[in-house]
Structure 1
Amino acid sequence: MPDGRFVAGGRLALTTFTVAPLRVARVDRAAAGTAMALAPLVGAVLGLLLAAVLGGLAALAPPLVAAGVTVAVAALLTRGLHLDGLADTIDALGSYRSGPAALQIMRQPDVGPFGVAALVLVLLIQAACLAALAGRPWPALVATLVAGTATGRLAVSWACRRGLPAARPDGLGALVAGTVGPGALAVGTAAVALAAVTAVPGRPWQGPLAVVGALTVALLAVRHAVRRFGGVTGDVLGAAVEVGTTVCYLGLVLTR
């Protein structure tokens, strides 16, 4: 018996956003919409795993070392796909080309100087943010990692909302573009904002504000990419993950 929409969507979400070696028997736009709606939940699970890594290593190693290893583990758990998407998207945007010419740059296997710079800056900022969490209580550390990783995937849900087209007739973008409805977006956004309430001790407002701010920045980046490329691609979604996660981490570690 073939998987139902929810089961197929859950499997597709895990295989898209993690290294989980699950077999997906059903891949269609209905399942893809469910997968993209469940993306923040997958991000939250990843956040729990990363919090365990960071918290455990912080007791044994200097904060920056623990943070660097945690960022590396995050890349391993996602096969580096989102980082690759970020590099390809920035290379295409940095070329000042539009439409098919920009999409061709994104297809090239090499990484240009714009992409390299973006990767270095994002990874450096993420590591610095996680190092700053070393002195926080365990519940706050967990809430920060969960909220940050979930926000990056929430940006993907919003980038797949109805009304946004795909840049190509094939690929991941064509499968998922325009598949997520407003109800799923409202529930996902509220859940991630709620998860961030305890991220900053004594400031329950800062966590949800960081989530909304990071989501706004990520969606502005997606909007710019859609204007340049003609729609959403898998690389643009990967870039949204990294931008959303990084900006959310920044918003959650600012305490002055």
Structure 2
Amino acid sequence: MTSLGIASSWICAIDLIIVERGLLIHRGEGVPLRFYEAVLEEAGSSATSPVKRVLLGWFYSAMELEDGRSSLCSSPSVGRESIPPFSREPSSLVGLDPRELLPLLLSPYPGERVLGMLAAGCLLAGSGDPCDPEELFGSLRGSKVALLGFEPFLGERISRFASELKVFDDEAVPRRGFLPEWSWRSLGPGFDAIVVSDLSLLKGWMSDLSPSALPPQAKLLFVGSGLPMGFSGYGALGAQAVASLRPQDLEGVFSCVAEGKGLRALERFAAWEISKVAGGG
């Protein structure tokens, strides 16, 4: 089956998948918000442009559309061996409407979920205010922080300022300091800030987010290389801010991705932007 055929089959099955996997989030006593469905619907109704190039890397991946919009995304560190053939040959996606890739956010394969996130990042690029990394992560100084989804370079940055950092992840081999058994209710009390990485979105962890499960008074921040800044649903999640890395020099970005370089190298060619969320918290 071609990549277009695979993506189309996900589009046909999207409602069934959402119901079967319970991909719902709840805001207080209000009506449940289907997070992934909301991203798919909002991105799917955005102005589009064909895929110009896409590259799946060891730590990060990148996509560029013909109209110049682009996005970055963390690459999951597990499951690469199970990526379907068309995901290992992203050149076959050149010229495709990125909206065809959005349902891959619900795929069981990490490589396909990356493609869905990249497409959403391009279509919901949005805009934020320039933000110096020291200011961004320095706002967590002295805080007890929970990081959802292990992104090594992000964790390293946060740990420089946080008084305590606990990483929640579900890797097959837990690392020192990890709390691998994940659910929102496993957070426990006492955290000053909850940082949601783009990896946690790729892992499907928005499925049972409930503000009632969050520690009282804790700030909820979405921080990552590939978050769709223009998505309007962050406020319903209770988030105070969204920060993402926006490509500036695309040749430099794609070179870093191809060479498997990390966050410090990418920051030479991409800039952090932050957007305060209206109605969040």
More strand by proportion, 1 or 2?
2
TM-score, with structure 1 as normaliser: 0.26
TM-score, with structure 2 as normaliser: 0.24
More helix by proportion, 1 or 2?
1
| Higher RCO structure, 1 or 2 (CA under 8 Å, sep 6+) | 1
